[in-house]
Structure 1
Amino acid sequence: MTAAVRTVLGDVPAEQLGVCDAHDHLFLRSPLLPGQELDDPEAAARELLAFRELGGGAVVQWTPRGMGRRRKDLAALARATGVHLVAATGLHQAVHYTAQQLERVRDRLAAAFVADLTTAPVRAGLIKVAGGFHGLDAHARHTMAAAARAHHTTGAPIAVHLELGTGALDALELLCGELDVPPGRVLLGHLGRSPDTRVHLRAAEAGAFLAFDGPSRAHHATDWRLFDALTALAEAGHTDRVLLGGDTTTAGARAATGGGPGLPYLVGTLRRALARELGEEFARAAFVDNPARAFAADWPPPP
């Protein structure tokens, strides 16, 4: 087995990933966002081309099962644009699904996740799960247990949606304690939405990856705290734990076809600002070196 990032076009050596948007969405639909679906392949292609022109090399889509992830379209976009794309399996919070959708998969989640990661025509490269606001409900615990089983079978990283940035330590306690997932295989998302430096430092000390996934049009109110949070992590010696993403969740938030800021802002404006404020070494770690480690796995051989 060789450590590689599992993209929609196959496994790629981690060092070839390049500048990475570690958390974004090219396709997404949810009953919580009526009329704001990300469902246009042509608009996604324009966004990716703008991203690539600014030096972007890879985008990790955290859209899980049942939310319009469109893996075949992701594969076509990767071929057309030359950008590495990573798809997700997993499940979001229960509110994003109908009761019938959840009932169909509830008792076979782990097997479904493993199939998405190992035998699907277009394979996923990470498992997306979600916590609740300041805690974990029964759905989150059930889904995380299935994700842990799938991780132990495949080695895939587990990405955690933290509701409004909360519940990071609860998620780590369950996944890395009770469920025995190595902390370095856990990616905690949306931490910028709850800028509690003490929690950030504890999560980094535990060995998890910390994803700050703004700027996002829907969550811009936390953007101004981003540099304070990153500076605290850097000063504590945790530069190697930081990931950055744009988390574009609506069509209107695209740069190429909407009001932005979108993928180009992340690798253009924000990356330059990080290099200026925290140094080029920090910017390279956050955009290149850390994603290469976070998303790589020793994938089992094909069945």
Structure 2
Amino acid sequence: MNHPAPPVLRTVVGDLAVDSVTGPALAHEHLVLDLDHRGDGAAVLDPGLHSAAVTADLAALRAEFGLSLVVELTCRGMGRDVRALARIARETRIAVVAATGWYYEPFHTPEIDGSSVDELTDALVQEIDGGIGATGIRPGVLGEIGSHGDTPTAPEAKVLRASARAALATGLSVATHAQLGRGGLAQLELLTGEGLPAHRISIGHQDLLDDPAVHKELAASGAYVAFDTVGKDGYQSDDTRLRLLLALVEAGHADRVLLSCDISRHGYLLDEGGRGYGHLFRSFLPEARAAGVDDDLIDLMTRRNPLCFLTGARVEEF
């Protein structure tokens, strides 16, 4: 049975009226995470060790910039802990949307190999409708649904199809992980091939792909183009990110842009000498303003677009 897109945001502390989100959002973040396959503990945001630093950084951003919403895309196999997310949301008074789904193949959980697309869809719908485990906390987005390379592997394609079907069944949207920005068009083809409208899809990590033609093609389809690793200079310079963003804006696609920092290691946290969750607001957006991006466009990209992506609403409604 299909449900209409929710008129409210589904957050970790309950449903929230969209019009109560008056400040900017971070469209792709991690507040709790465990991707430690190497055993070095780097790709970890441990709720017992790092939540105080995460909470302090977010609370400061709420005070300084009005940060109102974080889309937290830690899903199955990534160390998801929605109880910790709920604590952070309450302490910071920032809305947090939790996710369900599966990351790219190296982080797939065991059930994927032996399950059909329909069985994976049912597992996602059950979690969306019934809550994550015994917490009762319901995810408000499918993500970050992953693939790597120019074409998803067979297991990744299965997960993408299941995610599209679950999105159609529940009224949620799908945010992807395109490893190093590659494979976004193939992801879009798989998702829309299942009947999911492009405007319910965000293709991730496109700021890591120096290919404005791909960005324009994604945006022209109606999909959201996520420039969501802002500040990660080890992957791409912010100068290049800004050039790519300006090209997309100048092509008339500002209404398809999502922005974030994708904090995915504790070394990125402010209290460990990293740039923290606020680099987007403190550095990148001032550079965009200096390049001619006005405040209305910044509000579009940081507030209205994330709300439209999550709910399926038109930008004119905000």
Structural mapping, 1:12-161, within 5 Å: 12-17=16-21, 18-32=23-37, 34=39, 35-36=41-42, 37-39=44-46, 40-55=50-65, 56-97=67-108, 100=110, 102-103=112-113, 108-120=119-131, 121-128=136-143, 129-161=145-177
Going from structure 1 to structure 2, the CA distance change for 1:217 and 1:119 (only over 3 Å counts) comes to same
TM-score, normalization: structure 2?
0.87
The one-character-per-residue Cα deviations of 1:138-177 (angstroms, maximum 9, x if unpaired) are: 011100111011111111100010011011111111111x
**How far did residue 13 of structure 1 move?**
2.1
Distance 1:33 1:46, change over 3 A: farther
Post-superposition Cα deviations, 1:116-135, rounded to whole Å, max 9, x if no partner, equal 22221111111111122111
The answer to whether the Cα contact below 8 Å between 1:214 and 1:223 also exists between their aligned partners in 2 is no
**Equivalence for 1:301:** none
Indicate which of 254, 264, 267 corresponds to 2:278: 264
- Give the alignment of 1:268-287 within 5 angstroms: 268-277=282-291, 278-287=293-302
SS of the residue 1:262 aligns to: coil
Cα shift at 1:23: 0.6
Larger deviation: 195-204 or 111-120?
A: 111-120
Pick closer, same or farther for the CA change 1:205–1:143 going to 2, 3 Å.
same
Deviations 1:95-135 (A, max 9, x none): 1246x464576673212211222221111111111122111
- Cα separation, 2, equivalents of 1:16 and 1:105: 40
Tell me the distance in 2 between the aligned counterparts of 1:46 and 1:184.
34
Q: RMSD of the alignment, in Å?
A: 1.9
One-letter amino acid matched to 1:7: T
Return the letter of the residue paired with 1:96.
F
Q: Which has the higher contact order (CA 8 A, sep 6+)?
A: 1
Gapped runs of 5+ residues in structure 2?
314-318
**1: CA distance between counterparts of 2:114 and 2:232?**
34
Cα separation, 2, equivalents of 1:93 and 1:106: 17
* Contact 1:216–1:253 (Cα < 8 Å) also in 2: no
TM-score (norm 1): 0.91
How far apart, CA to CA, are the structure 1 residues paired with 2:82 and 2:182?
A: 29
In structure 1, C-alpha distance between the alignment counterparts of 2:32 and 2:186, rounded to whole Å: 29
In 1, distance between residues paired with 2:244 and 2:127?
34
Give per-residue Cα distances to partners, 1:216-266, cap 9 Å, x unaligned: 4474424221111111111111110001011011001011x2222111222
For structure 1, the residue ranges without an aligned partner over 5 or more in a row are 299-303
Q: Partner residue of 1:212?
A: 227
- Equivalenced residues, count: 295
Q: Amino acid of the residue matched to residue 27 of structure 1?
A: V
Give structure 1 regions of 4+ aligned residues with deviation exceeding 3 angstroms. Answer: 31-34, 100-108, 216-220
Tell me if structure 1 keeps the 8 A contact 2:25–2:70: yes
Name the amino acid aligned to 2:24: V
